[in-house]
Amino acid sequence: MPRLLDITFKAWIDRMPGAPHKLIVVGKAEVPTGGWTGELVYRNPQGINPDILLLDVLLTAPTEGASDAISEVPLR
């Protein structure tokens, strides 16, 4: 069963001049086998407080053979 590695999650705002500000969130999930992919996606609906951004973790299992080692999947 996949699990989130809470201590790995970080968030910041990229305020590079000449570009719109962008929120960046990164973290990792631990999965039972290799070959998984993952991403963070906006939750829809966001909830009753528009100031709180809710994100869901979308993990995709491998479609073909994968290693039996526990792996970490980067999320962004």
Going by C-alpha positions, the residue among 23, 18, 8, 24 that lies closest to residue 74 is 8
pLDDT at 64 over 90: no
Residue 35 pLDDT: 86
Domain boundaries, the chain: 3-75
Cβ atoms of 56 and 40 within 8 Å: the answer is yes
In contact, 76 and 28? CB cutoff 8 Å: no
pLDDT tens string 16-62: 999 999 999 999 999 988 889 999 999 988 889 988 999 999 999 88
The pLDDT value recorded for residue 39 is: 96
Q: How far apart are CA 58 and CA 15, in angstroms?
A: 27
Full 3-state SS string of 20-68: CCEEEEEEEEEECCCCCEEEEEECCCCCCCCCCCCEEEEEECCCCCCCC
Tens digits of per-residue pLDDT, 2-16? Answer: 899 999 999 999 999
